[in-house]
Amino acid sequence: MRYAQLITGPAGSGKSTYCSALVQHGINTKREINVVNLDPAAEHFNYEPLVDVRNLIHVQDTMEDEDLQFGPNGGLLFCMDYLVKNSDWLQEQLGSQEDDYILFDCPGQIELYTHLTTFRKLIALLQSWNFNLCCVYLLDVQFMTDGAKFVSGTMSALSVMVNLELPHVNLLTKMDLISKSTRKQLDRFLEPDSHALLSDIELNHSWFNDKYRRLTDVIGQLVEDHSLVRFLPLNLNDEENVSDVLLTIDNILQFGEDQDVKVKDYDEVDEEN
């Protein structure tokens, strides 16, 4: 079996930074973690990729091509389709090493995860190449600190979970950037508690009419009653937190069962944070 995290999330949510941090964590703990860059528009990252999709196709190619003349967004979607159609290239680049552990650093266009089929096709290919996959969805915590934004972020995570149908972990990134009081407020949402969300929305959004208030309440209840969407805080400055998050994902991937790696379960890490 091979193991991989699909690192997804909106533009700027911290995907490449997370990948670099995990590679460094791997070096510190004498564990090999490789990264594959799947973003054909990537300009800069701080890791040495095992495979780089830009060697197959670059978004610039699609924008400069006389026939295609795409804009940046359409070009990126075209590149991802091109990758799926030329999957032999990716398969060859990935090799076939047993027990390898790969982070796929994906583009920031969330339509790829929320409703287009390209990623589902890519997932099916990776699975057919013996990869056990976990989708890791990153959201910048700064966009989750008031009730209305938290509901919106929760819905985007839910769309990805429903569309990709993979074992899934949501991470709140850039935890080092929020104050203690904001963290306290966030903790009330993470519970999750629909009434905390609702009272925050009523307090901060006087324009919220009855209909929206009821809708928010119902969504909050739904998420709470079915434990649908959970978020783990990720602070890259805290090595113990990084280690716990990685172990949680390892557990979901069932990585470690044959490799003698200690794993923690989701609830354990959630409580510790």
Ligand X SMILES: Nc1nc2c(ncn2[C@@H]2O[C@H](COP(=O)(O)OP(=O)(O)OP(=O)(O)O)[C@@H](O)[C@H]2O)c(=O)[nH]1
The distance of closest approach from Cβ of residue 108 to ligand X in the complex, given in angstroms and rounded to an integer, is: 3
The distance of closest approach from Cβ of residue 119 to ligand X in the complex, given in angstroms and rounded to an integer, is: 14
| Shorter beta-carbon distance to ligand X: residue 110 or 253 | 110
| Shorter beta-carbon distance to ligand X: residue 11 or 68 | 11
The distance of closest approach from Cβ of residue 243 to ligand X in the complex, given in angstroms and rounded to an integer, is: 15
Burial category of 139 from C-beta neighbours within 10 Å (exposed 0-12, middle 13-18, buried 19 and up): buried
The distance of closest approach from Cβ of residue 17 to ligand X in the complex, given in angstroms and rounded to an integer, is: 3
| Shorter beta-carbon distance to ligand X: residue 12 or 167 | 12
Q: For residues 90 and 53, give the distance between their C-alpha atoms in angstroms, rounded to a whole number.
A: 8
| Shorter beta-carbon distance to ligand X: residue 126 or 171 | 171
Residues that bind ligand X (CB under 6 A): 9, 11-17, 39, 42, 108, 173-174, 176-177, 236
The distance of closest approach from Cβ of residue 194 to ligand X in the complex, given in angstroms and rounded to an integer, is: 28
The distance of closest approach from Cβ of residue 46 to ligand X in the complex, given in angstroms and rounded to an integer, is: 9
| Shorter beta-carbon distance to ligand X: residue 33 or 197 | 33
Q: For residues 219 and 197, give the distance between their C-alpha atoms in angstroms, rounded to a whole number.
A: 10
| Of the candidates 104, 217, 247, 87, the residue with the CA atom closest to the CA atom of residue 164 | 104
| Shorter beta-carbon distance to ligand X: residue 116 or 263 | 116
Taken in order 84, 90, 95, 100, the sign of the CA dihedral is: negative
Q: Which helix (H) or strand (E) holds 188?
A: helix 180-190
Tokens of 174: 């850039």
Q: For residues 176 and 237, give the distance between their C-alpha atoms in angstroms, rounded to a whole number.
A: 7
Helix, strand and coil content of the chain, in percent to the nearest 5, comes to: 55, 15, 35
